Structure 1
Amino acid sequence: MAAIYDCTVPAELLAGMRLSRAAISRGELVVIPTDTVYGVAADAFTPAAVQRLLDAKGRTRQSPPPVLIPNLATLDALAESVSEPVRALAEAFWPGGLTIVVPARSSLLWDLGDTDGTVALRMPADPLALELLAETGPLAVSSANLTGQPAALNAAEAERMLGDSVSVYLQAAPPTTPPTGLASTIIDATDDEHITIIRHGVVTEQQLRALVGDALFDPKRAEPADDAPPADAAALPADDAALPADDAAVRADGAVVPADAAAVPAADPTARPADAAEPA
């Protein structure tokens, strides 16, 4: 049975991090804290490990996981191109609750699922996660729960759902403030001219627009054709709509894969995020 390591205890922190690095290198799964919910992590460049992650959660290749990265330099290494507005947003909101969908470099030897050549990247604001990422490199990370169940807010909750499918569980100190229940904001930066909000979350539209101005395109504000509704109206939540979980899958067309369970109402700041079809 996989052990839970209390990373507030120095000896357990050292052991847990050492075993986590070893598990990742063997293509196994590790549960880690992030700044949103706990995540289950796998080596992004080991296809069998990514498939093991999807299997553990009960998901398919149509729900590819996002990738957590340790620094801004990794954005350039993984993205085919990075526009100046995207770079400005990453510098302003990373580490933190902003997930950026970019075209993935065609030379990358990985298989995250059915991504249509894109990847959703985020740099988390959690010291344990960043330390592990700095040592392992990019990790495919999805919320640490079974699909359709509430996202885990600690290692024990994750272990009850994922059990022995995970090799190591890392438990961080409890947050000093209660979880908000908000997921990361997801933006689609695959268009050279526009950045589109896919999901509203921790980083607000006003904060994004203050940096990039009219480069930020919100389809809810676009004028519909006289004889047809907006083509993407169903894919994008309204500002006060329910948010999917922090690891909602992002497809190349900019849509979020429909949730497998009820999403978190944004109006309730104490609500726990439920897993959607895909912290980052």
Structure 2
Amino acid sequence: MSLEYDLAVKLLQSGELVAFPTETVYGLGADAANPDAVARIFAAKGRPANHPVIVHLAGAGQLDQWARDIPPVAWELAEAFWPGPLTLILKRAPAVPLAVTGGQDTVGVRVPAHPVALDLLRAYAEAGGGRGGLCGIAAPSANRFGRISPTDAAHVRDELGDAVALVLDGGRCPVGIESTIIDLSNDNGPLRLLRPGHITPEQIRGVVGVAPESPGLRKPQQGTPRVSGSLDAHYAPRTPMRVVDTAQLRETLAALSAAGKRFGLLVYSSPDSSASAHSLRQMPNDPEGYARELYAALRDLDAAGNELIVVERIPESPAWAAVNDRLRRAACGAGNS
């Protein structure tokens, strides 16, 4: 695959877009030091210009290029969780374009754990990186803004087509939902959880001795940086979607069948009334397995010609927090074209 990496690096350095897999979802990559290249990301996704994008690095050794006044806790978290699905929000270095940060004085950075992403980032750095020698690739999810994130190369090609110069195929993403985002930009303030993900507050507590605060994931406090995936409506199918408690599922499905509705069903238990669904996706009953398959399942149900997607409500325990966050936002945005 070395020839593909060489091509990807040349395309990035010339301002083109390259999609690549991470352990979370596929990213739509551009030279993070080139505002014109970053603008291509926003144009391809239909993304508002004031929404920041995360910068992906080959290693923590590049952190000083992108952030300033880096607190000791950032290095502790980087050592513990990088490469991995953890994004740190830090004060941006002067050279970081405002196009990357959505006009803010903070920047989100992470080191992905996928071997294809790491090989690309290392090849990019070895080739001198982008403008000004900065070695970072800006890469939000490789899908239209607000829609279901891609966890397979085919999802990227289907949704973005010729807007992407190259798609590096690394197979299905093993985590399946976006990274945990922790805000460390508040001087002497507490760690703040801005987006739940695979890495949990308890895991963070195990490293730094304190769990991050959650300043209202739906309504962030004043002064909280804008971050990816924080809108109420996000990760959404075009088909309307309804989340239903397990106890009400049989009754709901019977009513839909009686009304002649064509519906898809996403369940993690085994309701005996599921046969009435036009299309069915049986999900794993553990949070990691469910997260890994969630977006692909929603895409399948969205493409199946359903009038409605019915989702069995999952547990509200901390272990399911990240998946619940994605389902809530998906339901809020579903059906909006």
- Interval containing the TM-score (normalised by the shorter chain): 0.7 to 0.9
Instruction: Specify the alignment match of 1:100 in structure 2.
Output: 88
| SS at structure 2 position matched to 1:156 | helix
Give the structure, 1 or 2, with the largest relative contact order (CA under 8 Å, sep 6 or more): 1
The reply on whether 1:72 has 2:56 as its aligned counterpart is no
The Cα shift of 1:157 comes to 1.4
Change (3 A) 1:62 1:128: same
Query: What displacement does 1:26 show?
Result: 0.9
Gaps of 5+ in 1: 1-12, 221-231, 237-250
> How far did 1:271 drift?
1.2
Q: 2:149 aligns with which of 151, 157, 170?
A: 151
Task: Please state how far the C-alpha of 1:25 moved relative to its aligned partner.
Answer: 1.0
Q: Deviations over 1:2-50 (max 9, x none)?
A: xxxxxxxxxxx13321211111011000010111111110000110100
Give unpaired runs (5+ residues) of structure 2. Answer: 125-134, 238-242, 244-285, 299-325, 331-337
> Secondary structure at the residue paired with 2:294?
coil
Q: State the percentage of identical aligned residues.
A: 33
Q: Whose helix proportion is higher, 1 or 2?
A: 2
Q: How large is the RMSD of aligned CA atoms in angstroms?
A: 2.7
Q: Does 1:199 align with 2:183?
A: no
For each residue in 1:124-174, what CA deviation from the matched residue of structure 2 results, as whole angstroms up to 9, or x when unmatched? 001111121123220000111112322112222101111111111111244
Distance between the aligned counterparts of 1:262 and 1:34, measured in 2? 17
Residue 163 of structure 1 aligns to a residue in which SS? helix
Match of 1:38 in 2: 26
Match of 1:83 among 54, 71, 83: 71
Question: Per-residue CA shift, 1:201-244, capped at 9, x if unaligned?
Answer: 11111110112124x44146xxxxxxxxxxx56436xxxxxxxx
Structure ID, larger Rg: 2
Contact 1:17 1:132 in 2 (8 A): yes
In the alignment, does 2:219 pair up with 1:235? yes
> What residue number does 1:162 align with?
160
Give the aligned residue type for 2:23: D
- Residue 188 in structure 1 maps to residue 183 in structure 2: yes
Instruction: State the match for 1:59 in structure 2.
Output: 47
Q: Give the structure 2 partner of residue 271 of structure 1.
A: 294
Correspondent of 1:254 among 225, 231, 235: 225
**Alpha-carbon distance in 1 for matches of 2:87, 2:29:** 16
Q: Which residue of 2 aligns with 1:208?
A: 204
3-state SS, counterpart of residue 150 of structure 2: coil
Measured in 1, the distance between the counterparts of 2:169 and 2:214 equals 40
Distance in 1, Cα, partners of 2:5 & 2:170: 12
Q: Secondary structure at the match of 1:198?
A: strand
Please list the CA deviations of residues 232-274 of structure 1 after superposition, one character each: whole Å capped at 9, or x if unmatched: 56436xxxxxxxxxxxxxx962344414435699964331188
Greater CA deviation, 24-33 or 205-214? Answer: 205-214
CA distance in 2, matches of 1:128, 1:180: 15
Partner residue in 2 for 1:239: none
Question: 1:29–1:167: 8 Å Cα contact kept in structure 2?
Answer: yes
